Amino acid sequence: MAQIKDAMVPYMTRDEIQDLVKKLAREIEADYQGLDVVLICPLKGSVPFAADLMRTLRIAAQIDFVQLSNVPSDRGEYAGVEIVKDIGTSITGKHVLIVEEIIDAGRTLSFLKNRILASGPASLKVITLLDKPSRRVINIKPDYVGKTIEDRYVVGYGLDDDGLGRNYPDIYYLKH
Ligand code: IMP
Ligand code: MG
C-alpha cells in the first residue's frame, strides 16, 4: 500500500484489532443486556472502530454520530472545542456509550460528556479502542479500554496524520 510517510512502523495488525473489538463487545453485552443503548460515535476517527463494534455487538443498539472540532487560538494553541455536527437521536433516559478510537489529552471527550449529560441520559460510559493516559491534561478515564499505549502518534484504522491514513486497515506509529 502507498504510505503517507516512510517512517510508518507496523504497530497493530487488523487481526489484533479485531481481537480487541471482540473482547470489548463481550464486555458491553454483559453490562447492557436488555437496556436501551445508544452508541455515540465522534466523527471522523471512530468510524472503522464503531462499524466493527456495532456489527460484533449482540445487543440491540441505536447509533448516532457527532462531530467536534478543536478551536485553535490566534497563536495556534488550544482554545476550546466546538460542535460541528450535534447528536440527532433522542438520548434522554437512554444508556449512552461514547465510542472513541483513541483518548489523548481528554479535552474532546470531556466536552462531549458534558454535552451528553445535559440531555439527561440514564447512564453514560465511554469505550475506547486505544488509550494514552500519559498524555492526559483532563482527569478523565474511559470505562472500557481495548489497549493502553505509550505516548506514540498512531495512524490507520480511523486515526489520521493531517487527514490521511484513516483508511488503512492496520495501525502504524510514526517515527519522528
Ligand atoms: P483529545 O483527547 O481531546 O486530545 O483528542 C483526542 C483526539 O485527538 C482523537 O479523537 C483523535 O482524533 C486525535 N488523536 C489523539 N492522538 C492521536 C494519535 O496518536 N493519532 C491520531 N489521532 C490522534
Ligand atoms: Mg476521536
What tens digit of pLDDT does each residue of 28-41 get?
999 999 999 999 99
Ligand 2 mean position, distance from CA 41 (Å): 8
| Rounded percentage of the chain residues whose pLDDT exceeds 70 | 99
Residue 114 is predicted with a pLDDT of: 97
pLDDT for the residue 48: 98
Taking only the tens place, the pLDDT of each residue in 2-13 is 777 779 999 999
The amino acid at residue 114 is N
Handedness of CA 157, 135, 173, 146 (dihedral sign): negative
Q: Of 167, 152, 148, 66, whose CA–CA distance to 109 is shortest?
A: 66
Q: Is 153 in the pocket of ligand 1 (CB under 6 A)?
A: yes
Ligand lying nearest the CA atom of residue 152: 1
- Which atom of ligand 1 lies nearest, measured to the CA of 106? 2
Q: What residues pair up with 174 in beta bridges, in sequence order?
A: 8
By three-state DSSP, how is residue 108 classified? helix
- Is residue 90 scored above 90 in pLDDT? yes
Question: What b/e string do you get for 20-35 counting C-beta neighbours within 10 Å, with b at 16 or more?
Answer: bbeebbeebeebbeee
- Is the preceding omega at residue 44 within 30 degrees of 0, hence cis? yes
Ligand in nearest proximity to the CA of 104:
1
Measure 153 CA to ligand 2 centroid, in angstroms.
13
Confidence of residue 1 (pLDDT cuts 50, 70, 90): low
Instruction: Indicate which residue's Cα is closest to atom 21 of ligand 1.
Output: 159
Q: Measured between alpha carbons, how far is 76 from 18 in angstroms, rounded to an integer?
A: 37
Average pLDDT of the residues in 138-143: 96
Cα–Cα distance measured from residue 48 to residue 41, given in angstroms and rounded to the nearest whole number: 10
Q: What is the pTM of this model?
A: 0.95
**CB count in 10 Å sphere of residue 77:** 7
Element (H, E) at 18: helix 14-32
Q: What is the mean pLDDT of the chain?
A: 95
Mark whether 104 is an active-site residue: yes
